[in-house]
Every structure is written in structure tokens, then in C-alpha cells.
Amino acid sequence: MNITIRPLQEKDAYTSVNWRNDPSIWTHTEFSATRKITIEDELNWIKKVMADKSCRRFAILADSDYIGNTYLTDIDGGGADFHIFIGDKSYWGKGVAKKASKLVIDFAKNELGLNIINLGVKSDNIPALSIYKSLGFTESGVKDGFLRMKLDLRTT
């Protein structure tokens, strides 16, 4: 299985809107929908984030199938926050998140010249913690009930 990332596109809304309305996908994240997300909501969100220069939003592809998203947000001169989710549950547990994370880390370091990537993860999300630790993230505290982790790109 070939894992790649590409910039998010408007057409992705027609798939991702289904993920936004599936509570099981959001179990381990700090985000959740408080109402049903419509296709119009999702299209508007994608248009908004595509125009936002403080973030980079990517679709995750397995071979040519769109299966999830990964983001760098709050990009400043030296750092950013990292987010990832696999929306197509048939790909859970198959190493996709780790491969996609490596691609985003490489992009952050080599294309954006960032020094630090931060993330938040629920402490009971053992699979995610395992991935992040294997990629070199270290624990840096707790905020709003989420374990905070960071990756120093200057040492990777």
C-alpha cells in the first residue's frame, strides 16, 4: 500500500463530510461535531482552511483512495501544531497514520523549515501514543485533559 499526502481539495468535502458525522472517528480527538455537518458546511470549511496561510491541510491517500486528513496548524516562524485522523475505518491499525505522519514531518522540516511540532493526544489513546513516541515525540505536559507532546526537528 502506497501512502501519500496532497493538499486538501474542495472535492474532498464529499467524502470527509461523512467522517465529520461519525462520532466513532472523533472518540480520541479534542474535536467533535455539536450538530450534523452538511455538505455546505464542509465545503465552506475546506474553502476557509485552504485560504488560511497559518496552516497546511493535507488529504491522506492509500494508493489513490482518500482515507483521512492531516494538518499543520498555527504555523509560526518556527513551529506548528500537528493533527491527524484516518476517516476510513477500514484502514485503522494498518500503519497508515505513522506513514502519513512521517510525510508531514518531512514537509514541516524540509519545506517549511520548522523547528518544533507540537500535538495533543488523549492519554488513553495507546495506538497514537505508540506512533508518536516511535517518531521521536516526547511528552511536554498536560493541557485541557490532553497529553502534550513535541518533536524537535533540529535533532531528527
16-57 per-position pLDDT tens digit: 999 989 888 877 776 666 789 999 999 999 999 999 999 999
The answer to whether 12 touches 66, Cβ cutoff 8 Å, is yes
Residue type, 134: S
Residue 27 has, within 13 A of its CA and on its CB side, a CA count of 10
Tell me which amino acid residue 47 is: K
- Are 117 and 153 within 8 A, CB to CB? yes
Q: For residues 118 and 110, is the Cβ–Cβ distance under 8 A?
A: no
Given a cut of 50, the residues of the chain with pLDDT beneath it are none
Report domain extents, the chain. Answer: 3-155
53: number of CA atoms within 13 Å, CB side? 2
pTM of the entire predicted model: 0.92
**pLDDT of the residue at 110:** 95
Cβ contact 57:50 at 8 Å? yes
Fold classification of 3-155 is Aminopeptidase (3.40.630)
